[in-house]
Amino acid sequence: MISVFVYGTLLVGESNHQVAAPFVLSVQPGAVRGRLYDVGLYPALVLFEDGQNDAQDHFVVGEWLEVTEEGLKAMDMLEDYYGPGAASNEYERVWVRDMNTSREGWVYIWEETSGLKEIESGSWKEHRAR
């Protein structure tokens, strides 16, 4: 069983959830410290480093998916993740801890946000509903 924090189109009810759905064992709400940005059809997450000044004030809400190994591979394909530091990666996959619980797992993060608009609510679903 593998934990993955999702915050955008992989959320339950969103456009790409069907990619993960066959492999999902459980879903729990969660939140991580960081900022969410609007890339157009999907969001991008930038995590805060521990001790960063504004880390307490900014968080991203999402869900923890418990998935099988096949589920992680399917999400890697969707997110154009080919391995640590691969030049063709659209996202990087890194280890993260939930800000309210001891849950830890993988998350897909964005490296470059210049020119992107921040989603101030920290919620993709709330942003899309507006």
The one-letter amino acid at 88? S
**CATH number of this structure's domain 2-129:** 3.10.490.10
Tokens of 33: 């410290």
- Which of these is catalytic: 49, 63, 79, 126? 79
Question: Which residue ranges make up each domain of the chain?
Answer: 2-129
Query: Is 111 a known active-site residue?
Result: no
DSSP readout, 10-78?
TSTTSTTHHHHGGGEEEEEEEEEEEEEEE-SSSEEEEEPPTT-TTTTT-EEEEEEEEE-HHHHHHHHHH
Percent of the chain with pLDDT over 70: 94
Taking the C-alpha atoms of residue 2 and residue 69, their distance in angstroms, rounded to an integer, is: 7
Taking the C-alpha atoms of residue 54 and residue 31, their distance in angstroms, rounded to an integer, is: 16
Q: Report pLDDT digits (tens) over 4-58.
A: 999 999 999 999 999 999 999 999 999 999 999 999 999 999 998 655 555 457 8
Q: Are 63 and 6 in contact (CB under 8 A)?
A: yes
* The pLDDT value given to residue 38: 95
* The pLDDT value given to residue 130: 82
* The pLDDT value given to residue 113: 82
